[in-house]
Amino acid sequence: MLGVALGLRPAHFGFFRTAPKVFLAGLVGQLLGLPLLTLGLCFWFQPMPSVALGMILIACCPGGNVSNLLVLLSRGDIALSVSLTAASSLSAAFITPIMIVFWSGLYPPTASLLDSLSFDAVAFLIQTAALLALPLIVGMIIAGVWPKLANRLRGPLVTLGGTGLLGIIILGSVQYLDEFWAIGGALIGIVAVHNAAAFLLGNIVARLAQADTAARRAITFEVGIQNSGLGIVILLTQLGGLGGAAAVAGLWGTWHLIAGLALVLFFRTADRVS
């Protein structure tokens, strides 16, 4: 979050001024559409409560910088992608904790699971908001007051953060490997369908906003790529892991890269054919 904040500039939000309908469509698709879609999938699949919680938590996380790379590879609108990533990262510090509590409460099994853990919603909101907001605020202050320092720090911090998140995904996945094998192939199927539905939602939202081809690709990836590493951090630091939820977040972190690269190949092939 600190690395993201150091790179935030007013220009990153330029699409809100130049193409507000397309920008807002992408943001609403990610912040509202994806959690709502996830809630529907939970009622449809009726997975074990911890798995459902993992699905909801991932849907409430902001997009990751990986989406920018995939949009670039697919010849999408990289400026729109960066704008949406910046906006979702900025909003995440303040609304992600609220979204997790709200959407989890709408699915009875996850609500019961949190009740059984003596879940303190107020403490969770305060602690998670601090976890996300403090580095974001510090980074934005440094970027605004000392922009040259921010530029020097951002590269190493992004590398460190990316490496750290990768390590967290791997360690979290290994730690809950037994839960993963216990759930088995059903978990892979749930994550694959969930991720595919997220990509499809992004594309539909973009089409409804009458976005052009490049913008549709950007929104597709922004809705379909989520910061699963951040989800695992929240799980481990605030919710004690919850094996099924951690297994979902760890598997999502791997699967959305595979599915995203496959989608890049599909888009590039479509370009050659046309």
Residue 84: predicted pLDDT: 86
Q: What is the pLDDT of residues 22-39, one digit of tens each?
A: 999 999 999 999 999 999
Q: What is the assigned CATH class of domain 2-267?
A: mainly alpha
At residue 197 the predicted structure's pLDDT band, cuts being 50, 70 and 90, is very high
Beta strands in the chain, from DSSP E residues, in sequence order: none
Query: Kindly report the CA angle at 238 between 237 and 243, in degrees rounded to 5?
Result: 80
Give the residue among 34, 33, 23 at the shortest CA–CA distance from 231. 34
Contact partners, residue 7, CB within 8 Å, separation at least 6: 143, 150, 154, 158
What's the token pair of residue 35?
């959690």
Model pTM?
0.81
pLDDT for the residue 180: 62
| All structural domains of the chain with their residue ranges | 2-267
pLDDT at 55 over 70: yes
d(CA 108, CA 262): 35
Most confident by average pLDDT, 80-94, 163-177, 195-209, 233-247? 195-209
Confidence of residue 205 (pLDDT cuts 50, 70, 90): very high
The pLDDT value given to residue 100? 85
Separation CA 157–CA 44 (nearest Å): 40
Q: Please indicate whether residue 59 or residue 139 has the higher confidence score (pLDDT).
A: 59
Q: Residue 35's closest CA among 59, 8, 15, 9?
A: 59
HSE, CB side, 13 Å, CA atoms: give it for residue 58: 35
